[in-house]
Amino acid sequence: AQSVSQHNHHVILSEAASLELGCNYSYGGTVNLFWYVQYPGQHLQLLLKYFSGDPLVKGIKGFEAEFIKSKFSFNLRKPSVQWSDTAEYFCAVNPNQAGTALIFGKGTTLSVSS
Amino acid sequence: DVKVTQSSRYLVKRTGEKVFLECVQDMDHENMFWYRQDPGLGLRLIYFSYDVKMKEKGDIPEGYSVSREKKERFSLILESASTNQTSMYLCASSLNTPKGGAWKKLFFGSGTQLSVL
């Protein structure tokens, strides 16, 4: 069965520090990849997605992620975090075939201190 | 904007009760999903549906069933609630792409926090 691993359960950073959250998946075929974010008390919302093409994708609020097929990875990055980035971040994977659903990682809580 | 509405924000039920969680979306999405979210476990897929009257088991279907009689509505049923089903339940919906397979982004409801006592 496919699975998604997020390496860090809780990351604590100061404002302006750089961020990288790891995500690895286990599935040998073509996949679609997503990062979702959940701010305190809010809905899950999409940060960015990768379907095909340029493996470096840019999302909202200055986030980007790089798909490295050989490493089965889709790490999320941001050069300089802000206090408002405090949230829980979920990586998700979906095989590119009909009748399948999104599988989420366990999430990484990011706490940014001002 | 797409709206995914879950009927209750908070629900308290007793062990053994039959529980219905309702979800309605207003954008004619083909796909609907039920997840549960637990601290440290992320989101786990319970069931999903890619068409009316169609359903597929997710990773943790035990103790749950679903119903999709109309395209806009996807119900999650706990036949006999147990304390280990205390959780946040999230409904989501999405479109199919024209070529099928590649899911567009999920739109989530606000969630139902269910407590089973």
pLDDT tens readout for residues A56-98: 999 989 999 999 999 999 999 999 999 999 999 999 998 766 6
Residues 6+ positions from B84 with CB-CB distance below 8 Å: none
CB contact under 8 A, A1 and B101: no
The tens digit of pLDDT for each residue in A9-64 reads 999 999 999 999 999 999 878 888 999 999 988 888 889 999 888 999 999 899 99
Q: Is the minimum CB–CB distance between A107 and chain B shorter than 8 Å? A: yes
Answer yes or no: is pLDDT of B2 > 80.
no
User: Among residues of chain B, what percentage have pLDDT more than 90?
Assistant: 68
- The Cα–Cα gap between A21 and B78 comes to 35
The whole-number pLDDT of residue B102 equals 45
Q: What chain B residue is nearest to A92 in terms of C-alpha separation?
A: B43
Q: Are the beta carbons of B107 and B4 closer than 8 angstroms?
A: yes
Neighbours of B117 (CB within 10 A): 10
CB pair distance less than 8 Å for A104 and B44: yes
Least confident window among A53-62, B26-35, B96-105: B96-105
Please list every residue in chain B whose beta carbon sits closer than 8 Å to the beta carbon of residue A6: 42
Helix (H) / strand (E) containing B13: strand B10-13
Q: Across residues B32-56, what is the average pLDDT?
A: 91
Position B104 pLDDT exceeds 70: no
- Round to whole Å and give the CA distance between A72 and B36: 26
Task: Provide, as residue numbers in chain A, all residues whose Cβ is less than 8 Å from the Cβ of B30.
Answer: none
Tell me what pLDDT residue B97 has. Answer: 61
CA distance, residue A82 to nearest chain B CA (Å): 23
Phi, psi of A71 (to 5 degrees): -105, 0
Q: Is the pLDDT of residue B51 over 90?
A: no
